[in-house]
Amino acid sequence: MSAALTQSQIQEALPGLDGWGIENAKLLKVYKLKDFKAALAFINQVGAEAERLDHHPEIHNSWNRVSLRLCTHDAGGQITEKDLILARAIQSISHP
C-alpha cells in the first residue's frame, strides 16, 4: 500500500511540476496541443510511460486538450510519490 503525501510535501513538489496543480485531491494538468492527432499521439506517449511505471492516470481528451489527473487508488485516492514520479515522466515527454 502506498503512503499519501502530506499537503506540505505536495506543495514542496509543485514548483518542480510545471503547470501542475491540485483539484479535488488529485494532481491536474491540462495540455493544449496543435490538434486532435497531436493530442492522441501525446496520449499514447503518456500511456507508454504509465505502463512502464505501472501507474495509470485519469485521461480526458477533448479535441486538442488533454486533461490528466493523478492519484493513487491504494492510498485512498490521495497523492503519493507514485503520482509525482508519473507527473515528472509525463513532463519529460510532453510537447504542447
- The model's pLDDT over 61-72, given as tens digits with 9 standing for 90+, comes to 999 999 999 999
Q: Strand pairing of 58-62 and 26-32?
A: unpaired
- Output the CA torsion sign for 69, 74, 75, 76: positive
Question: Where do the structural domains in the chain lie, given as residue ranges?
Answer: 20-93
Give the integer Cα–Cα distance in Å for 26 and 34. Answer: 26
The CATH label, of 2.60.120.260, 3.40.50.970, 3.90.1490.10, 3.30.1360.20, for the domain at 20-93 is: 3.30.1360.20
Give the integer Cα–Cα distance in Å for 86 and 55. Answer: 7
* Greatest distance between any 2 Cα atoms in the chain: 39
- The model's pLDDT over 19-56, given as tens digits with 9 standing for 90+, comes to 999 999 999 999 999 999 999 999 999 999 999 999 99
In which order are the strands placed within the sheet that holds 26-32? 21-23, 26-32, 65-70, 58-62
pTM over 0.75, yes/no: yes
